[in-house]
Amino acid sequence: MNTPKTLTDKEIAALKKRTIDFSDIPELTDSQAKELYPKNMKPRKE
């Protein structure tokens, strides 16, 4: 059985400083975004 690794404060600080690279993820199109909402749910009024 594998036990989870306990991170040190130094390792946690290093992870928090790292940035996430989103450049290889394509943006959602309008049709894809519409599929995310349930059909019977109305969008919120702003």
Q: What is the pLDDT of residues 22-39, one digit of tens each?
A: 899 999 898 888 787 776
Q: 39 versus 3: which is more confidently predicted?
A: 3
Q: Supply the pLDDT for residue 34.
A: 79
Among 19, 27, 33, 29, CA closest to 43: 33
- pTM greater than the 0.85 cutoff: no
Q: Is 33 helix (H, G, I), strand (E, B) or coil?
A: helix
Joined together, the tokens standing for residue 27 give 């943006």
